[in-house]
Structure 1
Amino acid sequence: MEPFAPSVRQAAVAIRSLFDATPLQRNDFLSARYGADIWLKREDLTPVRSYKLRGAFNAMRKHMRGRSGADAHFVCASAGNHAQGVAFACRHFGARGTIFMPVTTPRQKIDKTRVFGGDCVEIVLTGDYFDQTLAAAQEFCAQQGAQFLPPFDSPDVIEGQATVAMEMLDQLGRAPDLVVLPVGGGGLSSGVSKYLREQAPETRLAFAEPLGGASLQGALETGQPVTLPAVDGFVDGAAVARIGALPFAELRRFAPSDVHLAPENRICITMLEMLNTEGVVLEPAGALAIDVLQDLDDIQGKTVVCVCSGGNFDFERLPDVKERAQRFAGLKRYFVLRLPQRPGALRDFLQLLGPDDDISRFEYLKKSARNFGSILLGVESTAPENLTALTERLSAAGFAFRDITLDDILSELLV
């Protein structure tokens, strides 16, 4: 097998025409928490705030050998970081780009993609779901004879993403004990894995997937890529229903136990901690590697590198992130409370609240109730045990209620 590292180093040299190596920073906060030497590879600090630019640029560079940008036409389907990377690289090369995005793509992402691509890029909004968008992009490629750029299932894209590992080793000056990698389609994780297998075989790898999008773990358990029946889209940068075939060819040597699943709401706690404590803005996928550190029981005293894959976070999502974090931490709970329709009933209920309990939601669900009224009740507190004690007081006082905090269907309908 031809060595991988020399081609990765060539790709890295070429990438320097776009941006300097992203920082590798020791994080004192995380190091103290875990008793380890924790370093963050800050891919959220590329010009497009994610590592995706690396693979898109490298694939374009290889396709255009001996050709001018004016002769090239690239196409991709993406609602996020891949689209922005392709747009930025198209403008760099002066190549034509057509980027297909779902109609439901947030305006912020569309606008950023347009800014990165400038006059070189046309954005086509089509399809309510990504599969429809992808089919339209591939049909367009066949009709126009354009070059399709997949987000992860391409050797040139994988090679470009592997430059993260080359930079990391050069910056650290030694091989780390452990590298923690987020996984979506597998382009980044397979590229880094392949490079470290050659250049730092003693380095152990751990993989982080969102709980609602565990396509790598599912493939490792089955022995081949599988399509997940459903995916939670909250971690949009890593919510992939099927690991790429080429990435899995490299990653299949790992065990399912090497993959750690991060609950979506727990990731929100990590995002808020990094924002409030460290001033680091991470998107949900960008926080994956940091989030699963709490699941690793053998990192004390070790040198650990976490790859922060992206920071494209829309602050309009911040209230939702805070809400999810509070729920997971047990600091906020929702109830459907049956309140007797009599004078003094509300006062009786309010007297059961503890000194640190705060009502954040109080809404009658049925306005015409005669004997009892159903109320959607949201309560926040400073510690989980406070809300447990509140439920005990409610039961002792004879109030009928239902905790719907973890009931996905009722929460979606009512909250």
Structure 2
Amino acid sequence: MPQSYVKRILNARIYDLVVETPVDEASQLSERLGNQVLLKREDLQPVFSFKLRGAYNKMLCLSEEQLQKGVVAASAGNHAQGLAMASKKMGVKATIVMPSTTPQIKVNAVRARGARVVLHGETYDEASDYAQKLVKEKGMTYVHPFDDPDVIAGQGTIAMEILRQVSGPLDAVFIPVGGGGLCAGMAAYIKYVRPEVKIIAVEPDDAACLAAALEKGRRVRLKHVGIFADGTAVAQIGKETFRVLKDTVDEVVTVNADEISAAIKDIFDDTRSICEPSGALGVAGLKKYVEQHGIQGQSLLAVDSGANINFDRLRYISERTEIGERREAVLAVTIPEQPGSFKAFCTALSKRNITEFNYRMGDPDKAHIFVGVQVSGDEDREQLVADLVTKGYPLQDMTDNEMAKLHIRHMVGGRAPEAVDELVYRFQFPERPGALMNFLNQLGGRWNISMFHYRNHGAAYGRVLAGMQVPAGEKKLVNQFLDDLGYVWAEETDNPAYTFFLS
């Protein structure tokens, strides 16, 4: 099976538009991990993403009749820009259907490259359905973002370049996976030419459609998909890509938002380039793989797949970087409510730096503080916790408590004794005009909102923490209300971050 893709890849005539990107050594990361870490810099493509390769290769494979009728795609991101640029180069009319929720910066980028943009629906699926309608009505050719042999072969040219550029040892290649087009093309080529090189697929842990498919032995559709790494937020691996990947991938590594954020900083430190979350998946997976397997002295390469990031997302990423690198402990600590107690606590930290401190008086005898402390890793964090407990400080380690990191750190000190019968829910809604008002309209006057925290992180959905006063016996009604609303939600009334600081 890989043979057919090797021929397609070798025949790809894309280099009059596509750039052969360099392989750079990440010297700081290499020294820290004790391995040679290499980066394949696809962020340096003209559209700042590898997607140009597959889109252009597909266009070159179309007949003259197909080109005359034009091409269409549904995309809110990098594929749209790649297809727009390829179409402009070939003088072909391109229509990109984008959800109406697409950030204006991406809409403008596609239009600037000459494509016609149609805003339709609020989700990718709605945009995709409309694109298929245009195919039927106008005879346009649909260019799939990943599940197409010519697109897969275009992405596979990255592997051809890597094996030419890295003449020495190469132990493993770490490749981001969304729908699987990039990984399938690269894996088919590498496993045919140098089968000893390990292929490690890397996915966000909240969009791990390949891992789920490999576990079941068949393609499955995820019920919910997180979109922090929006470029790889795919609910189901492609049919053709899975056919290739199930026989060529050695291992799948999943990473969380904190680990991705830390990888973005690592890439910046070595290259001064800011990649998008999906672009940093390879590095995040590489770091986790090294830690899990205790690898030393190997040559490891990660694909930096793209740099199309909205600037306002950097605030969220910078907040999560130190935690993702395990260099910050987030603790809820009880200290005496008396003069000098904070100084004594700082002394107990043994010269560790405090990165954050939140407190508001709420008890005459005890002070509950939310504190961030700089540590060197998990072992140092565990030692810190043990030291503080030994010194008599009651505490809870909240470094892995998502609600504490997203919401409570901004709300410490908001106790409300009058908020009786309070239940707490964490949920997310699509980041679009009217989404919050929709929630409030649906809620009506049924239950009083006793607490509400929302912060825009430049993502496609909003994260909310809400408290509602719910009389005994009505909890099932609230849960049904949230189910009917259709938002992803979870009850957090028993979360220690809430009970410690706000209840």
Q: Give the TM-score of the pair, scaled to structure 1.
A: 0.83
Q: Which residue of 2 aligns with 1:39?
A: 38
Distance 1:292 1:68, change over 3 A: closer
Deviation at 1:197, TM superposition (A): 2.5
AA partner of residue 4 (structure 1):
Y
Corresponding residue to 1:242 among 236, 239, 243: 236
- With over 3 angstroms needed to count, the CA separation of the structure-2 counterparts of 1:390 and 1:90, relative to structure 1, is farther
The Cα shift of 1:153 comes to 0.6
**Alpha-carbon shift at residue 228 of structure 1 (Å):** 1.3
Deviation string, structure 1 residues 192-250 (Cα, Å, up to 9, x no partner) = 11112222223221111111111111111110111112122111122211111100001
The answer for the alignment partner of 2:306 in structure 1 is 310
Contact 1:185 1:242 in 2 (8 A): yes
Partner of 1:212: 206
Q: Determine the C-alpha separation between the residues in 1 that align with 2:365 and 2:70.
A: 62
**Deviation larger for 378-387 or 314-323:** 378-387
Deviation at 1:83, TM superposition (A): 1.1
Q: Does 1:271 align with 2:273?
A: no
Trace 1:73-152 onto structure 2 (pairs within 5 A): 73-115=70-112, 117-118=113-114, 121-152=115-146
| Residue in structure 2 matching 1:195, options 182, 189, 192 | 189
The C-alpha deviation readout for 1:327-369, integer Å capped at 9, x for no partner, is 342625375x999xxxx958576445526335455579xxxx8
Q: Could you report, residue by residue, the CA deviation over 1:61-88 in whole angstroms, capped at 9, with x for unpaired residues? A: 111x33595x141111111111111111
Partner of 1:6: 7
* 1:7-406 → structure 2 map (5 Å cutoff): 7-11=8-12, 14-63=13-62, 65-67=63-65, 71-115=68-112, 117-118=113-114, 121-173=115-167, 176-254=170-248, 258-294=251-287, 295-296=289-290, 297=293, 299-328=295-324, 329=326, 331=328, 333=330, 345=337, 350-351=342-343, 353-354=345-346, 356-359=353-356, 361=358, 378-383=370-375, 384=381, 388=385, 392=389, 396=393, 406=400
AA aligned to 2:346 is G
- Contact 2:40–2:304 (8 Å) recurs in 1: yes
Contact residue 188 and residue 248 of structure 2 kept, 8 A? no
Query: Are the equivalent residues in 2 in contact too, given 1:332–1:378 (CA < 8 A)?
Result: no
**Structure 1: which amino acid aligns with 2:176?**
P
Counterpart-to-counterpart distance in 2, 1:309 and 1:363 = 44
Structure 1 distance, partners of 2:387, 2:321, is 20
Instruction: Give the Cα separation in 1 of the matches to 2:154 and 2:300.
Output: 22
The two structures, once aligned, show a CA RMSD in angstroms of 3.2
Opposite residue 47 of structure 1, the aligned amino acid is P
Higher relative CO (Cα under 8 Å, sequence separation at least 6) belongs to 1
Q: Provide the C-alpha distance between the structure 1 equivalents of 2:228 and 2:210, rounded to a whole number of angstroms.
A: 18
How has the CA–CA distance of structure 1 residues 220 and 353 changed in structure 2, closer, same or farther, with 3 Å as cutoff? same
CA distance in 2, matches of 1:346, 1:127: 57
Structure 2 unaligned regions, length at least 5: 348-352, 376-380, 411-503
Question: How many angstroms apart in 1 are the aligned matches of 2:234 and 2:366?
Answer: 39
Give % identity. 33
User: Is the Cα–Cα contact under 8 Å of residues 23 and 162 in structure 2 kept in the other structure?
Assistant: yes
Supply the distance in 1 between the matched residues of 2:141 and 2:273 (Cα, whole angstroms): 36
**C-alpha contact (below 8 Å) 2:337/2:365 kept by paired residues:** no
In structure 2, what is the Cα distance between the partners aligned to 1:97 and 1:373?
A: 68
**Partner Cα separation in structure 1 for residue 389 and residue 138 of structure 2:** 67
Checking the alignment, whether the CA contact within 8 Å between 1:338 and 1:374 is kept in structure 2 is yes
> C-alpha distance in 2, partners of 1:313/1:286?
10
- Tell me the SS of whatever aligns to 1:185: coil
Cα distance change of structure 1 residues 172 and 124 upon mapping to structure 2, 3 Å threshold: same
Query: CA distance change for structure 1 residues 171 and 103 in 2, over 3 Å: closer, same or farther?
Result: same
TM-score, normalised to structure 2, is 0.70
Deviation at 1:35, TM superposition (A): 3.1
DSSP-derived class of the 1:237 partner: helix
Contact kept in structure 2, 1:76 and 1:100, CA below 8 Å: yes
CA contact (8 A) 2:66 2:140 kept: no
Q: What is the rounded CA distance, in whole Å, between the counterparts of 1:84 and 1:346 in structure 2? A: 60
Find the aligned partners of 2:300 and 2:323 in 1 and give their Cα distance. Answer: 29
- State the shift of 1:380 in Å: 2.9
Kindly state the Cα deviation for residue 166 of structure 1 after the two structures are TM-superposed. 0.9
Is the contact between residue 329 and residue 397 of structure 2 (CA under 8 Å) also seen in structure 1? no
Please list the CA deviations of residues 256-302 of structure 1 after superposition, one character each: whole Å capped at 9, or x if unmatched.
x7111112211111211221343132211111111222323365333
In structure 1, what residue type is equivalent to 2:278? Answer: A
Q: 1:353–1:390: 8 Å Cα contact kept in structure 2?
A: no
Structure 2 counterpart of 1:262, which letter?
V
Q: Deviations over 1:170-197 (max 9, x none)?
A: 2223673322211111001111111122
Moved more, 203-212 or 2-11: 2-11
